[in-house]
Structure 1
């Protein structure tokens, strides 16, 4: 029997002190914020990997490794504002390195700059909205800043962190006063764009009290699931069975639609809906009867026949999964977005509304039945 220390275990098993040969025929392809290098490997029998070392424009040191099975590697993290020196070395199984091959890469501007150029901001009910295009689905942050009581810029805790291709989000809970804001886009490598400065005055809204909500059954409303009363839509429980609302999945005699009374007339600003997450792999959103495409109708006076031609179409909406993952799969960003509820804006030019109808055009499972955890309507009743 024998034993060895931790120090012994960390020693290379081979002892070849001869430096390996260098890579050759190095080619560079430059992309936005990235560079792909291709090379010819040496014929050393104990070659273990190739590594590239470089310094980002923000001072961060980066090392990228690629095994001897590959003849290329992707270098990332560049802002794209200048040419960067890269040292490429080969390493054998004894962790002995070759002399470096020094090259230069000149990546194009990083994707954050296109995101910044597409950034739109403005007032919305109870806050501000941010729209931006992120076609490469990069992990980015849109940092939202305002001034504290000392007049210093501070980052809002509700800044946007996303990898979705179309960013459409709002930050709410703000007073309806003119206020200075600043916006900057950052990537995971801590590259930053310039700063957009603007003044925005949020529009007034308040949560329409759920105490006044009540269900109404019109002739063409879909029957509900036997275990889920319509009151589950406004009982404060956003996800757990059976304090949610589902229409009967076997119903096929008409659209899956339900109706309810807000209890007051109000100039509506948005309807916030929490989808019902199925008990699948824990709790899964964007699944089965959760609404994917739907319409919201409104009326000031109750039209009792259910004829939709007599109702005002307030909007047609489509839910998207931030990650773009296949059906039945979700990541943490997907979960957090759905668990926080989706807000669906109502046009500002519609009259005051008291009665609402929600019609599911297509659920995530491909059918028309709907499943909702909770609903909250916002607006101005004054």
Structure 2
């Protein structure tokens, strides 16, 4: 039936109204529960109300007895009209109810928002315990003192850190405000600061083969630091594949060629299929260690010093084993990291999301107070196929326990004093 002027509308008797209705306030909204009349004529229940000045309608089938109303920016009273609707589209008489939403999640999350100076920009932090998506609008003041949108990012995580880079080491004013899925925005947090200087470490890297490091390569190590990375499928020439099993070479060491205060590392996985970045023998868990100088006196005749697991001298009778010297006692740990597979929303293109994530690389920040280093050592703990270097932590595979990377980039400040 058309909706032309003069139509009388749906025909038929009015369905009975809902019963036993209650609205429970929640943060930013309310949840209505009710009893559906025992009538075959009722097709669904609908609720009409205004949210932030706009008319909204929610519908729920007879197979549910709840309606969720969200997105309110204030705690002002909300008036809701509930209707049952018949199979012919006839509405019942309205049942009108008023409730007061609790404070919206956006404004409670805003209380946790903070921003700090970082390498090449700033980092923004917030906490979100509401299991709802919250975004940040990152702003930068222009030469006229006006904030301009720079970038938007969204997350459902409980603890969020978003870093915005690409800025010179010059004073600037940055802003961050939170947004939600209903168009509500918080006030803006401002920070005037000078980002720390950041540059990419020179490529190609110089490889240092220490005892315990990967002893052979299936594909050349130079592929991992040649400055290229492709989203093309099955490109062997732009990836490094180790040639040793775990337990006999799952570490590798790099000479940066200069002393740097490191800020982060970015890993790019190898693509053999669209889903392979999160499968096969691409790196999943790893550690990063750094030092300003190698203990050269331990390079010859002291292989035990360089192994992943410390060794112990035989104890004297009645005594405890004594740990031998070990490189991890002399190096600083820059972090233990895991590559996390991106979420794929329902209906989204998985391949596009995976390729976009891999194209951006997986970036891992180092502690801001880490000391400058000259050498950096990676300890691969697990691949996506499950191969692990610690059987008690990461279950090993029996065969072909190799690992691979397509590209590796490291960043930091190379203007620190060179010793």
- CA spacing shift, 1:106–1:290, aligned 2, 3 Å: farther
Question: What displacement does 1:118 show?
Answer: 1.6
* 3-state SS of 2:406 partner: strand
Whole-Å separation in 2 of the counterparts to 1:284 and 1:31: 42
Structure 1 counterpart of 2:212, from 220, 235, 240? 220
1:52 paired to 2:47: yes
Whole-Å separation in 1 of the counterparts to 2:72 and 2:287: 44
The equivalent residue for 2:144 is: 150
* 3-state SS of 1:159 partner: strand
With normalisation by structure 1, the TM-score equals 0.84
Indicate conservation of the 8 Å contact 2:229/2:268, yes or no: no
Residues 54-91 of structure 1: CA distance to partner in whole angstroms, max 9, x if unpaired? 1112x232211111222222222223522211111111
The equivalent residue for 1:301 is: 293
Residues 239-270 of structure 1: CA distance to partner in whole angstroms, max 9, x if unpaired? 5532123335x713346212222233322222
Which of 1 and 2 has greater Rg? 2
Which one is further off, 172-181 or 231-240?
231-240
Indicate conservation of the 8 Å contact 1:277/1:286, yes or no: no
Whole-Å separation in 1 of the counterparts to 2:382 and 2:344: 18
Superposition map of 1:169-180 within 5 A: 169-180=162-173
Whole-Å separation in 2 of the counterparts to 1:274 and 1:340: 8
Superposition map of 1:252-267 within 5 A: 252-254=246-248, 256-267=250-261
RMSD between aligned alpha carbons? Answer: 3.0
Superposition map of 1:1-382 within 5 A: 16-57=11-52, 59-156=53-150, 158-210=151-203, 212-223=204-215, 226=218, 228-235=219-226, 236-237=228-229, 240=232, 241-242=235-236, 243-248=238-243, 251-254=245-248, 256-277=250-271, 279=273, 282-302=274-294, 304=299, 306-307=306-307, 308-309=327-328, 310-321=330-341, 323=343, 336-368=356-388, 370-382=403-415
Whole-Å separation in 1 of the counterparts to 2:157 and 2:352: 13
Whole-Å separation in 1 of the counterparts to 2:240 and 2:99: 57
Indicate conservation of the 8 Å contact 1:278/1:287, yes or no: no
Indicate conservation of the 8 Å contact 2:342/2:353, yes or no: yes
Q: Which runs of 5+ in 1 are unaligned?
A: 1-5, 9-14
- CA spacing shift, 1:297–1:163, aligned 2, 3 Å: same
- CA spacing shift, 1:198–1:152, aligned 2, 3 Å: same
Query: How many residues in Structure 1 have an aligned counterpart in Structure 2?
Result: 362
* 3-state SS of 2:109 partner: helix
With normalisation by structure 2, the TM-score equals 0.77
